[in-house]
Structure 1
Amino acid sequence: MNRLLAVALMLVTSVVAGCATHPAPELRPYSVEESRQLALEALSRRGLSFDEYQQQRAALLGQPQKSYSFDRQGEMNAERSVTLHGRPS
């Protein structure tokens, strides 16, 4: 009976010690990459305009800000006649 009690006590001690050594994930500090990812996710949920979003995203990522604008080459004017392959369009 003495051996059974000793084995049970050792088993209970090892289980309790094993449970106590695992740190909970929410208690550890976030890494730099995890913090950046959380900030980007929060930024995408804010409902900003495209320009504001791109400015803040570039600031978070440490990238130079790019200027986004529409080019004038893709515009069509209904008052202007354009000839494509010998036929008016």
Structure 2
Amino acid sequence: MKPLLATFLLLTVSVLAGCASHVSPELRPFTAEETRELALENLNRRGLSFDEYEAKKAELLGQPQKSFSFDNHGEMNAERAVQRHGHPS
């Protein structure tokens, strides 16, 4: 009976000591790199348009904002004559 009681007591003390000394990663503050990575992951999940995404990403990374835009010409017709200065079409 005593070995069973001693084993149970030892097991209980081991479990309680393990729980008491557990260091949780949530208790430490995030580093700047971890915070930036979490913000970028959150940005990827938001479903923003391309322009909004690029603007927010540049803001998070501290980079100058790049200008992405489309031209106003639309689609080009292959049969349309292109006039170039000094060159016949």
Q: TM-score range by the shorter chain?
A: 0.5 to 0.7
Aligned match of 1:47? 47
Residue 86 of structure 1 aligns with which residue? none
* Alignment: residue pair count: 79
Gaps of 5+ in 1: 1-8, 83-89
Q: CA deviation at 1:64?
A: 0.4
TM-score by length of 2: 0.59
Aligned ranges 1:26-41 → 2 under 5 Å? 26-41=26-41
Which residue type is aligned with residue 77 of structure 1?
N
TM-score of the aligned structures, taking structure 1 as reference length: 0.59
Give matches, 1:50-65, under 5 Å. Answer: 50-65=50-65
Specify the alignment match of 1:23 in structure 2. Answer: 23
Q: What RMSD over aligned residues (CA atoms) do the two structures have, in Å?
A: 3.1
Match of 2:67 in 1: 67
CA shift digits 1:20-57 (9 cap, x unpaired): 33411122111111111111111111111100100011
Q: Which runs of 5+ in 2 are unaligned?
A: 1-8, 83-89
- Percent of aligned pairs sharing the same letter: 70
